[in-house]
Amino acid sequence: MSYLMYLRKSRADKEAEARGEGETLARHEQILSELAAKMDLPIGATYKEIVSGETISSRPKMQQLLIEVMQGQWDGVLVMEIERLARGDTKDQGTVAEAFKFSNTKIITPIKTYDPLNEYDEEYFEFNLFMSRREYKTINRRIQRGRVAAFQDGWYIAGTAPYGYEKIKRKGDKGYTLDIVDNEAQVVRMIYDLYTHGELQDDGSYLRFGSYQIKDRLNDLHIQSRSGSTWSAATIIDILRNPAYAGYQRWSWRKVQKKLVGGNIVESRPKNDDCPKVKGRFEAIITDEQFELAQKIREGKPTPIRSTNALQNPLSGLVYCEKCGTLMTRQPSNTKDHYPVLRCPNSKCTNISAPLYLIEQKLIEGLAEWADEYELNWPKKDWEDTEISTATYQHSVDSMQGKLDTITKQLSAAYDLLEQGIYTLQIFQERRSTLENQKEETETELQRLNRELEISQARARAKREFLPTIRHIVDTYWTIDDVFVKNTMLKEVLEKVDYLKTERNKKGGRGNANFSIYFYPRVPKF
């Protein structure tokens, strides 16, 4: 008989902690431990849910609990209240109810023990789950009404402050507001100035910057983002489209949308610039006019349209720039042939692009040469006898493990003989010393044999699986039209590929492979 203790915080618990009522999980664990001791219930494990989630899918410990309950691992689960198990939708509640009912697992609370095979307990259990869900919806509606009211009143309700501000709550205020962080605000003003007005040139004209040029300027000036990392173009765009810098706050800018795709619920958070906005109770960093100008410029830029979502790069996710370490990307060439090239997307990197087909060709040729060299590096006897040597080493490991088990039992028996008075202390010490020396020698030899076994197994895998896979790729690669299949095949045998090209091809020399590639095979380690 073994029981599981499940602990989870609710929103009310967090509010109680804020009032100084102590740490919730610790209090609940003490109460349930006292209950278990009183009922003489052995606790086999304790699961603490430290994440807040409405559904089972967002609570990993609850998922683990349900799996183990369905497998019949526990005789019962101790929990403070039925509501701690499920507050999700009808589907989640049904999952919980069925798991406990069909596995005949009891639910023990400080108030009542629920037997899933008892008809009245089952009805009471399902009723409690229903009321828990109803209570959750009522509380959630009240909270959302409060958030909407605070938003409309100008209080800042988002979790974190945007770059350039800090979130504060002054004494006597009902809600939070924002204070300007001077050094960050200067960076925000510079971003908007470069984007909307530009930088004065020697000829008296102004050159406007795009998001990529702005992020390069900030990184060149060694200005760190709030996270301490380098700036990205996406971060610049988010700053340019955030109305907080003009003194406004937005509601439901990235509202969660749920769709049923292939029988699964998929969540997305699309950006919606037409969401409701109100004037906030904080000072603006830029003017309304500059913010509106930035939106007109941003919306006036063409959005890249992909003609297809299908994978077009057979080397996707594999080839890295040897100079800067950036993952290289496919791009159509600007020549009249429009053949695709592989290029480093880092605008500061000087690595030169090359035709994609040429890199593919050299990679396949390199794989063929590597496979031959890899096989030649082994002595012929080792190559031919891999399966035999693996079986031999496995037998030796099993034999040595058996010897170690015997010595361990003999050592334990020596202690028993000492306690029974059959061994004198001197005889016991001599016997123990001998056995411990034998044990140490046996353990050392067992480690050596295990290492040899791992090497032999790796060689067997290479002979049986890895090299045949590489040779299959080399033989069939150019007969396959599906780019995704090609990419999958290469990722099966390659960790990554480093690419370097320092000199441009001369006119008419497109087929000159004056670049170097170094690939890292997923060869079995030994």
Instruction: Report the CATH number that the domain containing residue 134 is assigned in CATH.
Output: 3.40.50.1390
Instruction: Report the CATH number that the domain containing residue 190 is assigned in CATH.
Output: 3.90.1750.20
Long-range Cβ pairs for the range 393-401 (8 Å, 24+): 393/449, 393/452, 393/453, 393/456, 394/453, 396/449, 396/453, 397/446, 397/449, 397/450, 397/453, 400/442, 400/445, 400/446, 400/449, 401/446
Query: Tens-of-pLDDT digits for all 526 residues of the chain?
Result: 689 999 987 655 555 555 444 477 888 899 999 999 999 899 999 988 876 666 777 788 888 888 888 888 899 999 988 777 776 666 777 788 888 888 889 989 998 888 877 878 777 777 777 777 676 677 677 777 877 888 888 888 887 899 999 999 888 888 889 999 999 999 999 999 999 988 877 777 778 888 888 988 898 888 988 888 888 888 999 999 999 999 998 888 877 777 766 666 677 778 888 888 889 999 999 999 999 999 998 887 655 444 455 688 999 889 999 999 889 988 876 555 667 889 888 878 889 999 999 999 999 999 999 888 877 765 555 545 555 566 677 778 888 888 888 888 888 888 877 777 777 878 878 888 888 888 888 888 888 888 777 766 666 665 556 777 888 888 888 988 888 888 888 988 888 999 999 988 887 777 788 899 998 987 755 4
Beta bridge mates, 166? 179
Long-range Cβ pairs for the range 222-230 (8 Å, 24+): 223/187, 225/163, 226/163, 226/184
Residue where one domain finishes, among candidates 235, 267, 300 = 300
Residue where one domain finishes, among candidates 262, 277, 300 = 300
Give me the pLDDT at residue 21, please.
45
> Which of 73, 80, 64 lies closest to 12, judged by CA?
80
Token readout for 100 is 């406990």
Query: Which one-letter amino acid corresponds to residue 510?
Result: R
Same domain membership, residue 467 and residue 367: yes
Q: Does residue 448 form part of some domain? A: no
Same domain membership, residue 258 and residue 379: no
**Residue 480 in 3-state DSSP?**
coil
**Residue 303 in 3-state DSSP?**
coil
Q: Does residue 385 form part of some domain? A: yes
Give me the pLDDT at residue 305, please.
46
Same domain membership, residue 12 and residue 138: yes
Distance in Å from the first CA to the final CA of the chain: 45
Q: For residues 51 and 59, give the distance between their C-alpha atoms in angstroms, rounded to a whole number.
A: 7
**Angle (nearest 5°) at CA 103 between 97 and 106:** 70
Q: Does residue 13 form part of some domain? A: yes
Residue where one domain finishes, among candidates 266, 300, 334 = 300
Give DSSP secondary structure letters for 114-153.
E-TTSHHHHHHHHHHHHHHHHHHHHHHHHHHHHHHHHHHT
Same domain membership, residue 498 and residue 373: yes
**CB neighbour list of residue 38: distance below 8 Å, 6 or more residues apart:** none
Q: Does residue 409 form part of some domain? A: no
**Angle (nearest 5°) at CA 518 between 516 and 524:** 165
Q: For residues 128 and 134, give the distance between their C-alpha atoms in angstroms, rounded to a whole number.
A: 10
Same domain membership, residue 489 and residue 361: yes
128-146 burial, b for 16+ CB within 10 Å, e for fewer?
Answer: bbeebbeebeeeeeeeeee
SS3 string, 307-319, reads CCCCCCCCCCCCE
**Residue 317, number of CB atoms within 10 A of its CB:** 13
Same domain membership, residue 287 and residue 195: yes
Length of the chain measured in residues: 526
Q: Does residue 399 form part of some domain? A: no
> Which of 89, 32, 37 lies closest to 47, judged by CA?
32
Task: Say if CB 9 and CB 52 are below 8 A apart.
Answer: yes
Same domain membership, residue 294 and residue 339: no
**CB neighbour list of residue 455: distance below 8 Å, 6 or more residues apart:** 526
Q: Does residue 158 form part of some domain? A: no
Give me the pLDDT at residue 115, please.
86
Q: How many CA atoms lie within 13 A of 104 on its CB side?
A: 2
Taking the model in full, what pTM does it have? 0.46
What is the largest distance, in Å, between two alpha-carbon atoms of the chain? 105
> Which of 281, 274, 280, 277 lies closest to 295, judged by CA?
274
Same domain membership, residue 12 and residue 147: yes
Q: For residues 232 and 214, give the distance between their C-alpha atoms in angstroms, rounded to a whole number.
A: 9
Same domain membership, residue 348 and residue 202: no
244 burial class (0-12, 13-18, 19+ CB within 10 angstroms)? buried
161-196 burial, b for 16+ CB within 10 Å, e for fewer?
Answer: bbbbbeeeeeeeeebbbbeebeebbebbebbbbbbb
Give me the pLDDT at residue 14, please.
57
Same domain membership, residue 34 and residue 84: yes
**Angle (nearest 5°) at CA 98 between 95 and 101:** 150
Q: In the chain, how many domains are there?
A: 3
Q: Does residue 273 form part of some domain? A: yes
Same domain membership, residue 268 and residue 186: yes
Same domain membership, residue 22 and residue 84: yes
Q: Does residue 341 form part of some domain? A: yes
> Which of 400, 332, 368, 391 lies closest to 474, judged by CA?
368
Beta bridge mates, 107? 77, 114
**Cα distances (angstroms) measured from residue 448 to each of 4, 324, 452:** 41, 41, 6
> Beta-strand (E) ranges in 439-505?
494-500
Bridge pairing between strands 165-168 and 248-250: unpaired
**Cα distances (angstroms) measured from residue 111 to each of 62, 78, 91, 106:** 21, 11, 26, 14
Which residue range is the domain that position 192 belongs to? 165-300
